[in-house]
Amino acid sequence: MTVIQLAVPVGECDHIQGAENAAVVLLEYGDYECLRCKEMHRIIKTIQKQRDQSLRFVFRHFPLVAIHPMAQHLAETVEAAAAQGYFWEVHDYLFEQLHFAGNGNLHRYVTTLGLDVDRFEREIAEHLYVDRVRVDLQSGLASGVNGIPTLFINNIRHDGSWDLNSVQAAVTTAYKTS
């Protein structure tokens, strides 16, 4: 079996949860319209609760616009929230919705966060974060990502199953070998 490594290391521009010195880094390439990514979000949240700060989680955008027409827009939307310090709140909100019901629900949600809504909406309309999303997409392509979700555990692509037990086992193995 060929081992595929992460081509672009985790850096300061990434969206990161967990301690910098965590023994295991779990990186996901995902798309907010992808139903499997929504399920992976639930799995990762479960693993994060179990591992607490000993796991570092990184999310990178990989919008598959050919099959998910809103994916690019949603990634740019999350980046507009990130510019005001609300990446994870909007990231979680989008993945935890059963179906994305349009900007109305998201608009109502972001008004509860306390961010500057006018700035948020203006930056989305101006596509201010298209290049930021493109950087993630290109890093995924350089790393051999060809579908979503794609996970890297300690810089090695996880080619196993995407169910909770399989991902937990891969993370546990990474702890034992780190």
44-58: per-residue pLDDT in tens? 999 999 988 789 999
Distance, in Å, from the CA atom of 90 to the CA atom of 93, rounded to the nearest integer, reads 5
Q: Where are the domains of the chain?
A: 60-144
State residue 73 phi and psi, 5-degree precision. -60, -45
20 to each of 12, 24, 83, 101, 144, how far by Cα in Å? 11, 10, 21, 36, 25
Helices marked H in the chain — which ranges?
35-51, 71-82, 87-96, 103-113, 117-125, 130-142, 164-177
Is residue 98's pLDDT more than 60? no
- pTM score > 0.75 for this model? yes
Average pLDDT over residues 34-44: 96
Residue 29 contacts residue 150 (beta carbons within 8 Å) = yes
Is residue 38's pLDDT more than 90? yes
Say whether 6 sits in a helix, a strand or coil. coil
* pLDDT value of position 107: 82
* pLDDT value of position 101: 53
Is residue 31's pLDDT more than 60? yes
Q: What is the pLDDT of residues 78-90, one digit of tens each?
A: 999 999 999 999 9
As given in the structure block, the two tokens for residue 144 are 């051999």
Is residue 99's pLDDT more than 80? no
* pLDDT value of position 2: 83
**Side chain identity at residue 101, one-letter code:** A
Q: Tell me the residue length of the chain.
A: 178
Average pLDDT over residues 132-161: 97
Q: Edge-to-edge, what's the strand order for the sheet holding 24-30?
A: 15-17, 55-61, 24-30, 150-153, 156-157
Q: How confident is the model at residue 140 (pLDDT cuts 50, 70, 90)?
A: very high
Match 């306390």 to its residue by tokens: 114
- 168 sits in the region (left: phi over 0; alpha: psi -120 to 50; else beta) called alpha
List the Cα angle 8/145/10 in 5-degree steps. Answer: 25
* pLDDT value of position 148: 97
Q: To the nearest whole percent, how much of the chain has pLDDT over 90?
A: 86
Q: How confident is the model at residue 13 (pLDDT cuts 50, 70, 90)?
A: very high
